[in-house]
Amino acid sequence: MLARKRRGPFVAGNWKMHLTLAEARELAREVAAAAPGLGGSGLVLVPPFTSLAAVGDAVAGSAVGLGAQDLYWEDKGAFTGEVSGPMLKDAGCAYVLVGHSERRRLFGETDETVNRKARAALRSGLSPVVCVGEVLEEREAGRTTARIDLQLAGGLAGLSGEDMGRVIIAYEPVWAIGTGKTASPAQAEEVHAHIRRRLEEAYGKGAAGCAIIYGGSVKPANSYSLFKEENIDGFLVGGASLEADGFVGIVREALRAYREET
């Protein structure tokens, strides 16, 4: 039943537009201090741009990785307010979120800009965490997988099977983000399995190793049952990642599910 899962949970904390430098440093230190007890998992902190360097310093030498929340697709130039892939790499990032639903909804991002950003990330040696997910009306109208298919086809256009080895897909149903409503494990698994099938159709075996993580009101109390599902490889956590106990608790619970399988 759980034959496919081989890796420990990959858990990223998206801090969104939260935390001062001092708060960011402290939270990062707490997470880094807990990391040795969370071996077998992939941990990534995703602070706002202003805290990247401080968080990078705080987690240096630990198993905690660094990610950014967005990037622009050009490497440099007259693009006031934007930050590029090479700059993120230089700041110590290994990951970058692309096409988060808040960026799509509030800042006009489209599957085409998501694609440009994903390619720019790969070109800069960053792993893009490409976010997809349906809104409530789409789910209620039975259009969830059709929406996801469009986001995958558009967002990943032109990527090779080899590229896919470095891509992470985050399924975040928009109705579950920041609402306290989590997709049930079965609802999430249905979409994750669909995404896995689509990736395998498009990229063959190259996609088999691609992590597909879930986001939307993940907490320590639901992490175990979500991670038990075959195609849920980890989490993209918003609100609960703003406290070390919440974030670490989510990782612990996912690890508990993982260890039962291996």
Active site positions, annotated: 100, 172
Residues that bind ligand 13P (CB under 6 A): 14, 100, 172, 177-178, 215-218, 236-240
Q: Name the packing angle between helices 185-203 and 144-155 (round to 10°).
A: 40
Instruction: Please say which residue, 206 or 233, places its beta carbon nearer to ligand 13P.
Output: 233
Instruction: Please say which residue, 97 or 120, places its beta carbon nearer to ligand 13P.
Output: 97
Kindly state the smallest distance separating residue 235's Cβ from ligand 13P, in Å.
8
List, in order, residues 6 or more apart from 99 with CB less than 8 Å away: 109, 111, 113, 114, 117, 118, 130, 131, 132, 151, 155
Rounded Cα gap, residues 13 and 64, in angstroms: 11
Q: Which residue is nearest to ligand 13P (CB)?
A: 238
- β-partners of residue 13 are 45, 237
- β-partners of residue 64 are 43
Instruction: Please say which residue, 240 or 244, places its beta carbon nearer to ligand 13P.
Output: 240
Instruction: Please say which residue, 203 or 240, places its beta carbon nearer to ligand 13P.
Output: 240
Rounded Cα gap, residues 101 and 89, in angstroms: 23
Kindly state the smallest distance separating residue 218's Cβ from ligand 13P, in Å.
5
Kindly state the smallest distance separating residue 116's Cβ from ligand 13P, in Å.
20
List, in order, residues 6 or more apart from 13 with CB less than 8 Å away: 31, 44, 45, 46, 237, 241, 242, 247
